[in-house]
């Protein structure tokens, strides 16, 4: 349990000043004679010296750390996002502090405070929806914020990386309409979230384009957490005239919804065609394999980290960036032609 060597130890041992050692450490900050450099590096190796991040940060008033704020790592979508973010960040030499909010605005506010204390350079977040002022304060302090997957309308100055939620939902809906379905249910995220709204918007647009009216009873906005997916499915299936197709656009509720369907007498896709948002490793392992909207998570992560790190280094144009990537529609076996569909005109 020996205490670690400091830059002064290295300087003394190498017979130079701390300034020289610092210059060796941070290449490009000043000239160092080749022989001196070699000597210093040797001593560094000998002593097992590692510069202390805290000291550097204190002086530079910024960190090589970024914050990642997501709801919940137990959700595969966030987990895979986090995985890629950590990975991409490492490739750029920065570390990631992960904070989870459980979709709770209060915990989110706490996370923001923490990130300020840590004076992180940037934050990548999937905002819960509230805390407008808190997020604003963050950028007010010069901390770059990138929203990924979701966004907050009032914060127009913040970078956003997201999939084209409306188009994705539109494509999924059109697919079902093409199969002859006219009564289509849609389970979405909270109306307070951009994803929750945009997906429903796309859904309605596709329905309208096909000249179909939307029964508002078939559109459910439910929270990300809890077991509401099951309840929604239950409600939809027990309607006098239940839908023949269902889109689950609430990533976090797919499992819950699926469980309820399995428990019921309903057969997929004979009785009910199913399309769900987000492709998981297991969507093709269940029976039947699910037709999904696959979000290109790697792209979301890469762009987020690019923005977060790029802004931190100040090598991005001032104006706010809005990056939208396309989701991929993957047809599997959970969607099929509507039974005894009304003849196509």
Partner DNA sequence: TCCCTAAGTGGTAACGGTTACACTTTTGTA
Partner DNA sequence: TACAAAAGTGTAACCGTTACCACTTAGGGA
CA distance 324 to 275: 22
8 Å CB contact between 44 and 12: no
Min dist CB 264 to its own copies, Å, is 14
Which does residue 91 touch among DNA, its own copies, none (CB within 5 to 8 A, set by kind)?
Answer: none
Cβ within 8 Å of residue 288, ≥6 positions away: 268, 269, 332, 333, 334
Q: Pairing mode, if any, of strands 322-325 and 159-163? A: parallel
Does 25 bind DNA (CB under 7 A)? Our answer is: yes
Which does residue 182 touch among its own copies, DNA, none (CB within 5 to 8 A, set by kind)?
Answer: none
Size of the site for its own copies (CB under 8 A): 56
Count of C-beta atoms within a 10 Å radius of residue 169: 28
Q: Closest by alpha carbon to 245, among 271, 224, 226, 280? A: 271
Size of the site for DNA (CB under 7 A): 34
Question: At residue 291, what are phi and psi to the nearest 5 degrees?
Answer: -75, 130
How many CA atoms lie within 13 Å of 90's alpha carbon, on the beta-carbon side? 6
For its own copies, the closer of residues 48 and 211 by Cβ is 48
Contact range with its own copies by CB under 8 A, out of 147-155, 162-170, 276-284, 336-344: 276-284
Does 262 bind its own copies (CB under 8 A)? Our answer is: yes
Three-class SS of residue 194?
helix
Which does residue 96 touch among DNA, its own copies, none (CB within 5 to 8 A, set by kind)?
Answer: its own copies
Does 1 bind its own copies (CB under 8 A)? Our answer is: yes
Retrieve residue 104's tokens: 């709770």
Contact pattern from residue 76 through residue 115 relative to DNA, giving x for each residue in contact according to CB under 7 A and a dash for the rest? ----------------------------------------
User: Which one of residues 12, 38, 48, 58 is an interface residue with DNA (CB under 7 A)?
Assistant: 58
CA distance 102 to 1: 38
- φ/ψ bin of 15: left (φ > 0), alpha (ψ from -120 to 50), beta (otherwise): left
Residue count (the chain): 345
For its own copies, the closer of residues 200 and 248 by Cβ is 248
For DNA, the closer of residues 85 and 121 by Cβ is 121
User: Which one of residues 12, 41, 56, 114 is an interface residue with DNA (CB under 7 A)?
Assistant: 56
Say which residue the tokens 């995985």 belong to: 83
8 Å CB contact between 173 and 184: yes
For DNA, the closer of residues 30 and 226 by Cβ is 30
First to last CA, the chain: 82
Which does residue 27 touch among DNA, its own copies, none (CB within 5 to 8 A, set by kind)?
Answer: none
Interface residues toward its own copies, by CB under 8 A: 1-4, 48, 50-55, 57-58, 61, 63, 65, 72-74, 76, 79-80, 82-83, 86-87, 90, 95-100, 102, 107, 113-114, 116-119, 137, 140-142, 255, 258-259, 262, 280-282, 284-287
Interface residues toward DNA, by CB under 7 A: 3-4, 6-8, 15-23, 25-26, 29-36, 49-52, 55-56, 58-61
């Amino acid at each position: 349990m020996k205490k670690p060597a400091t830059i002064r130890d290295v300087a003394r041992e190498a017979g130079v000043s701390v300034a020289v050692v610092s210059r060796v450490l941070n290449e490009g900050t000043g000239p160092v004679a080749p022989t001196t450099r070699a000597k210093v590096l040797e001593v560094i190796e000998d002593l097992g010296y590692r510069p202390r991040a805290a000291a550097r940060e204190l002086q530079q008033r910024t960190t090589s750390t970024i914050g990642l704020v997501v709801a919940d790592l137990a959700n595969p979508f966030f987990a895979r996002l986090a995985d890629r973010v950590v990975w991409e960040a490492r490739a750029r030499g920065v570390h990631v502090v992960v904070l989870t909010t459980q979709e709770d605005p209060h915990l989110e506010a706490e996370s923001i405070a923490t990130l300020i204390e840590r004076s992180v350079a940037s934050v990548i977040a999937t905002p819960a929806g509230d805390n407008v002022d808190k997020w604003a304060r963050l950028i007010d302090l010069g901390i770059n914020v990138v929203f990924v997957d979701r966004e907050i309308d009032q914060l127009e100055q913040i970078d956003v990386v997201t999939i084209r939620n409306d188009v994705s939902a539109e494509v999924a809906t059109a697919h079902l309409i093409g199969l002859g379905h006219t009564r289509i249910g849609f389970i979405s995220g909270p109306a307070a979230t951009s994803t929750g709204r945009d997906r429903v918007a796309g859904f309605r647009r596709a329905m309208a384009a096909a000249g179909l009216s939307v029964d508002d009873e078939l559109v459910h906005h439910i929270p990300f957490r809890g077991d509401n997916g099951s309840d929604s499915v239950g409600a939809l299936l027990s309607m006098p005239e239940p839908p023949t197709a269902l889109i689950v656009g609430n990533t976090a509720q797919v499992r819950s919804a699926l469980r309820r369907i399995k428990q019921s007498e309903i057969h997929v896709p004979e009785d009910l065609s199913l399309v769900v948002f987000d492709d998981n490793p297991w969507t093709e392992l269940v029976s039947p394999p699910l037709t999904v909207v696959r979000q290109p998570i790697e792209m979301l992560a890469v762009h987020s980290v690019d923005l977060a790190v790029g802004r931190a280094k100040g090598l991005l144009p001032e104006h706010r960036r809005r990056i939208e990537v396309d989701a991929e529609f993957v047809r599997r076996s959970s969607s099929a032609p509507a039974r005894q569909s009304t003849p196509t005109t």
